[in-house]
Amino acid sequence: MDESSHDSQSLRSASLRGTAALAGREVRRVLRLWTQTILPAVATALLFLAIFGVALGDRLQQVDGVSYLSFILPGLLVMTVAGQAFANTSTSLFQAKNEGYIEDILTSPLRSAEIAVSYMAGGLVRGWLAAAAVAAIALPFADGLHRPAVAAIALALTGIIFSALGVITGLYADSFDQHAFVANLVIAPLALVGGVFYSVERLSEPWATLTHLDPIYYLVDATRFGLTGVQETSLAASLPVAVAVAIALGAVAVALLGRGWRLKP
């Protein structure tokens, strides 16, 4: 092996170790602070289930042939994954910028894609663990599972999309106000009008059209199909669109990190 090949292999090995170390740091942060990162999200989702699924479920009985609790559970899982994946990734990068240690990461041998994946790892673990806890508690009271693999794919795509969006927001935000703007005035409204608590087929115009323009609606619908079999849109349309959005946001996050957007003086 010549010297250049040896150097290249050493650099690749250092990059892999650095990626694993940074990703491990983000995951350990989530697990160590589980009372702040996971427990509140689980409690909030269960509170929604108790209020809407139990209290209103007695009046609504069934929606599209399934109990109301089973109908809203998939949407709450999507909301949980989306909110927690976004919050973890965006706040981690925001803190790294404010506290100045992002410069150490930028001067490491890690490439921009590896940095993005490392930060996204914490968001994915946080979102998926919170959703898994909610599902473990609520599924015994639901109507059963239809195609769990489809639901798992939809929730995986939800985590990737919103953790990538969290990277972009973390790079953009220079203050808590800017961070809160995206979380409270973009993600929260999209989640609430994404068909979590209602069937779009029962809406009048223009609300039905507005819901169909909401990208979260398709993730909710795919997850609902996987858990209950209820479907309002085609998987052949919703899942490929979600994959395209995930790839696009991931590419944007990597490109912005590569340019040092709002990171370098």
Instruction: Dihedral sign for Cα 88, 140, 222, 182, please.
Output: negative
| H or E segment to which residue 63 belongs | strand 62-63
- With CA atoms as reference, report the closest residue to 41 among 141, 160, 33, 220: 33
What is residue 54's DSSP assignment?
I
Other Cβ atoms less than 10 A from the Cβ of 206: the count is: 9
pTM, 2 dp: 0.90
- With CA atoms as reference, report the closest residue to 130 among 92, 80, 89: 80
Domain boundaries, the chain: 3-259
Q: What value does the mean pLDDT take over residues 31-37? A: 93
Tokens of 143: 């109507």
Out of 49-53, 115-119, 238-242, pick the least confident: 49-53
Q: For the segment 107-165, what is each residue's pLDDT rounded down to a tens digit? A: 888 899 999 999 999 999 999 999 999 999 999 888 878 899 999 999 999 999 999 99
How many residues are there in the chain? 265
According to the model, what pLDDT value does residue 11 have?
67
Distance CA 8, CA 27 (A): 28
According to the model, what pLDDT value does residue 49 have?
87
* Average confidence score pLDDT of the chain: 87
**pLDDT over 90, % of the chain:** 48
Out of 33-47, 95-109, 115-129, 196-210, pick the least confident: 196-210
Q: What value does the mean pLDDT take over residues 27-45? A: 94
Residue with token string 């109507």? 143
8-17, 54-63, 160-169 — most confident range: 160-169
Whether 202 shows a pLDDT value over 90: the answer reads: no
Pick the more confident residue, 27 or 6. Answer: 27
Pick the more confident residue, 143 or 4. Answer: 143
Integer distance in angstroms from the first to the last C-alpha of the chain?
A: 40
Tell me the CB-side half-sphere exposure of residue 262, using CA atoms within 13 A: 16
DSSP of 232-244: SS-HHHHHHHHHH
Tokens of 262: 């709002």
